[in-house]
Amino acid sequence: MEGLAKVSEQFKEILKLNEPIKQMCAKFFKNQKSLLLLGRGGQFPTALEGALKIKEISYLHFIARGGRPIVICNYDDPEFSAAQTEKIEVPKTVDCLQGLLNVIPLQLISYWLAVGEGLNVDFPRNLAKSVTVE
């Protein structure tokens, strides 16, 4: 329950990353046609959702052929140092809520990739809404 009580403030903290993510997209992803998004353990579904969002909005293909990794990790994660890679740091929370925090940077990346390509993020092509009325 403590994790749930903190999640609202953690969302606000992550949204402060909007400008750095915008700059990262312009610097590292400009003119990219393929990206690779990885997730492990409980964050694998978050990676799948992020990949889907990026595909739907910015129409990028996902494959791996070398490149520079950009990592979304917890603050002060000993496995990733600033000297080794670009990273997006999000607050740590309980495992069952971590995906809620990790998906926000992926949504921002999706948005800025599409905007950078001049795409209309409000009306992505080939994406239809369906409504069922009973």
Residue 123 located in a structural domain: no
Residue 104 located in a structural domain: yes
Q: What is the pLDDT of residues 74-107, one digit of tens each?
A: 887 777 666 666 778 899 988 888 989 999 999 9
- Here the CATH number for the domain that contains residue 54 is 3.40.50.10490
Residue 106: what pLDDT? 92
Residue 13: what pLDDT? 92
Residue 31 located in a structural domain: yes
Residue 41: what pLDDT? 80
* Phi, then psi, of 61 in degrees rounded to 5: -95, 150
Residue 133 located in a structural domain: no
* Of residues 68, 74, 66, the one with CA closest to residue 14: 74
| Structural domain count of the chain | 1
Coil, helix or strand for 72?
A: strand
Residue 121: what pLDDT? 86
Residue 131 located in a structural domain: no
CA distances in angstroms from 27 to 32, 43, 103, listed in the order given: 11, 26, 21
Residues 6+ apart with CB under 8 A from 70: 24, 28, 85, 86, 87, 88
* Of residues 24, 26, 18, 53, the one with CA closest to residue 117: 26
Q: Domain range for residue 70?
A: 2-116
Residue 65: what pLDDT? 39
Residue 128 located in a structural domain: no
Residue 96 located in a structural domain: yes
Residue 83: what pLDDT? 63
Which residues in the chain come in under a pLDDT of 50?
A: 63-66
Residue 54 located in a structural domain: yes
Q: Is 118 left (phi over 0), alpha (psi -120 to 50) or beta?
A: left
Calpha distance 109→115 (Å, rounded): 10
Answer yes or no: pTM beyond 0.75: yes
